[in-house]
Amino acid sequence: MALISIIEDFHPLNSPRLLDRAAQLTPTLSRRSCKPASLCLLRADGTEESVPPEGLPELRRGDSLCLDFGEHLVGYVTLELDCAGSHQDAPAFLSLRFAETRKELEQDPAAFDGWLSRSWIQEETLHVDLLPHRLALPRRYAFRYLRLTVLDTSPKYRLVLRSAECRAVSAVDPEAAEPLASGDALLDRIHAVSLKTLAECMQEEFEDGPKRDRRLWMGDLRLQALSNAVSFRNFDLVKRCLYLFGGTRFPDGRVAANLFTRPVPEADDTFLFDYALMFPVALEEYLRETGDAEALADLYGIAMEQVDYALSELDETGRPNAQAVHDCFIDWCDELDKEACALAVLIYALDYALALARRKGDEARIEALPPKAAALRRLALDRYWSEEAGCFVSNGQQAPATQVWMVLADLGDPVRDRRAMEAASRMTGLRMNTPYMHHYYVMALLKAGMSRQAERHLKDYWGSMLDAGADTFWECWDPTEPDQSPYGGLIVNSFCHAWSCTPAYILRRCLRPSD
């Protein structure tokens, strides 16, 4: 429950000017009509049969009809319902279950006992008093599968589903991005599914997951923006999200870990040390693509505030204090000692802050940041590098994540970087649990000059999701523990998640296949 924060009477620091600018950048969503690709009928007695597209099975109490739309969709569902038999003398009592994967559909909602709200489970029960009826469901769903179950009718009539449609929505045309033609079929497919994942998460803002949480998270935004830059290039949406983060913050100016955008934009009362530092990173990367002078003028000061706050969280020895370490996400791994990672993320962000300062012509920071970064790099080596172990050690703990972030902090020795990443590849404990961490793992392999290993890992990790049936890439995945969930139940995992979309970026910008 590391990401739950409750601050009573939380009052964000809002900038109406920045929020107004963000509102001006709200996209108009594209829409397309999608029909089921196949149907399967499950009778109350347990018998199962495929249904031809032109078939209209009559459903009695206990019967279920599973609709497979053939692809992951985000949108609004309409069902045309009718009846057969004698007069409808009682309401039709129905259950609807939406699921992103088959495995999710097989889960029992009543058995979920995790720490997230069960209200994220995509299920509805409803009564239809009069048939025929056009049932236009008001909620937006993220799904591939829909199971309609007849909880009850009456002996006098049967329910008939005449048609089903999903109006799928996105800020971009999923077909607009150029496919990869690498000559490697697996990499091309990983690239395509990465873009499908990204497109599904591009709504009125970059959502972390269109099923759950449907929110704008800073760590996810940075990665989404990278893949967007090599595909859809919808930079207005990136700018909108940066302005949202700048426009509603903690009362002391810190960028929140995530935002609510409805009914009005409001910073969540959750702060993550490493996510806040991704604000200057994402801003500088956006400016590299666009040269947007307005964004630099409006957001530069906010970006530097995040750096200043992080520097203030170092103790007298220069190490991150206990609060900073506690506030670090890094990965879903409660056992991970995050002290070294926290310092490494700060060092990493300082390089981007310096690039921003040079854009701005901020001479004071141009002079101050390099010696500060150099001092922290010396501290990182002195404190965390173990020549005996051949890797970085954080308070006695050796972990892949520690190696990754220390390599990305660019401590200046390619030989040591390679040793650290070779050690990381051999570590079996404290496994990386999310595509978020695996993205940075691949980037660290590339930083260490290990491009073949980076390509192999990308194929093995994201490819194993494809082998497990992924239409879009998932929030949490360990091939050795496929039912893993940080929330206490697979049914609330997000199976289309923003931070898993980065193979598109890696394959376009960073990795030349089979180097």
- What domains, with CATH codes, occur in the chain? 13-27+184-510 (1.50.10.10), 30-170 (2.60.120.260)
Confidence at residue 515, expressed as pLDDT on a 0 to 100 scale: 43
Whether the pLDDT of residue 3 is over 70: the answer is no
Q: How far is CA 312 from CA 275, 308, 315, in A?
A: 16, 6, 8
Strand partners, 450: none
Q: What angle do CA 393, 398, 403 make, to 5 degrees?
A: 75
Whether the pLDDT of residue 303 is over 80: the answer is yes
Q: Are 303 and 254 in contact (CB under 8 A)?
A: no
What would the two tokens of residue 214 be?
């449907």
- pTM for the full model? 0.96
Question: Which 3-state string (H, E, C) describes 432-484?
Answer: CCCHHHHHHHHHHHHHCCCHHHHHHHHHHHHHHHHHCCCCCCCCCCCCCCCCC
Peptide bond into 208 cis (omega under 30): no
Interval 145-169: pLDDT, tens = 999 999 999 999 999 999 999 999 9
Residue entry with tokens 């600018």: 21
CB contact set of 345 (below 8 Å; sequence gap of 6+): 273, 274, 277, 328, 330, 405, 409
In angstroms, the CA 347 to CA 29 distance is 38
Interval 60-92: pLDDT, tens = 999 999 999 999 999 999 999 999 999 999 999
State the pLDDT confidence band at 233, using cuts at 50, 70 and 90.
very high
In angstroms, the CA 316 to CA 314 distance is 7
Tell me the Cα Rg of the chain.
25
Rounded mean pLDDT, 173-179: 92
